[in-house]
Chain A
Amino acid sequence: MTAIPLTHILVLSTLLFFIGVFGFLTRRNLIAMLMGLELMLNSVNINFIAFNKYLYPEQIEGLGFTIFIVAIAAAEAAVAIAIIINLFRTTHHIDAEQADSLKY
């Protein structure tokens, strides 16, 4: 059995998740907000792997869900970047505060 306690991995993923939350809340640049989002998704992946390895090692579904999350994160990042590039082309900025043309 591995020597790393499960609690330490959970604390690591918690800290990483809330670092991502902090970045998402404080940044106004859309690409920087996307980076915070990627950190959050990765911390969730760490949790899936850790729970699968420690609590249900006879099954393998946690690893499968990690793979699906990675695939969906790739699709999400690609769509987000397409939207950001389109926004930059029409308004010449990528600031979340100033992007209000759909608001009124």
Chain B
Amino acid sequence: MMDPSLIAFYAISAFILVTGFMTVISTRLFRSAIYLLFSLIGIAGLYFLLEVEFAAAVQIIVYVGGIVVLIIFSIFLTNQGGASMPFPHLIRRNVGAAAAMAGAAVVGTLAAAYEWHPFPITFDTSMSRIGHMLVGTGEGSLVLPFELVSVLLLAAMIGCIVIAMKSRHEEK
């Protein structure tokens, strides 16, 4: 009798991998984006299964609610809603598949061969602990990178506006 969480893990893994694969082989860009959406939702489900609820919430809010919507907006802004992409050249497809499979074989063999020794205590991801890690002042807190990320987000926002803004000469 298999453990129910193991069955759930295999189902979620199959879902993630199938939708991820459809993302990279679908010839229609919009369908590709929708498959990416389902793959990211599957990853959020995996985080729920691993009992890391905060990561699952962040995944749904930022990836599913933010990045995929941004990608769909950009597909429509570049007028490609229903456009189908040409299938990649045979050589490029074969070289890409060979490179990906070789890499997956090497990394997968290494990961499977190494004997991991899991620690038999439960992983405590309570919200107060995450808060102390992110903005606390104690030992090992990540408050400096947290502040740096906020500066980075501001810089990215200003950069996006400057890059995507229409210049005055173009309008005339």
Report A's interface with B, CB cutoff 8 A: 1-4, 6-12, 14-23, 25-29, 31-32, 34-36, 38-39, 42, 45-46, 49-50, 52-61, 63-64, 66-68, 70-79, 81-86, 88-89, 94
Contact = CB atoms under 8 A, between A and B. Distances in A.
B54 interface: yes
24 contacts: A6-B116, A6-B118, A7-B112, A9-B50, A18-B100, A19-B20, A19-B21, A26-B96, A26-B97, A31-B33, A31-B75, A32-B32, A35-B23, A35-B24, A39-B24, A50-B50, A54-B116, A59-B140, A61-B142, A66-B55, A68-B145, A71-B62, A78-B160, A84-B74
B117 to A, nearest CB: 8
Contacts of A1: 118, 120, 122
A67 B134 contact: yes
Classify chain B's interface size.
Answer: 35 or more
B108 A88 contact: no
A25 B100 contact: yes
Nearest to B170: A89
Interface in B19-58: 20-21, 23-25, 29, 32-33, 36, 39-40, 43, 46-47, 49-52, 54-55, 58
Interface of A is mostly: helix
Contacts of B172: none
Given A18-B104, A54-B116, A85-B74, A4 B164 contact: no
B123 A57 contact: yes
A34 to B, nearest CB: 7
Contacts of B75: 31
A45 B16 CA distance: 14
A21 to B, nearest CB: 5
A28 B117 CA distance: 42
Interface string B58-83: 11001100110011011101101000
Contact of A8 (B9, B97, B161): B9
Contacts of A18: 100-101, 103-104, 107
Contact of A22 (B16, B97, B107, B118): B97
B71 A35 contact: yes
Given A1-B120, A31-B75, A21 B70 contact: no
Given A42-B63, A82-B163, A26 B92 contact: yes
A17 B100 CA distance: 9
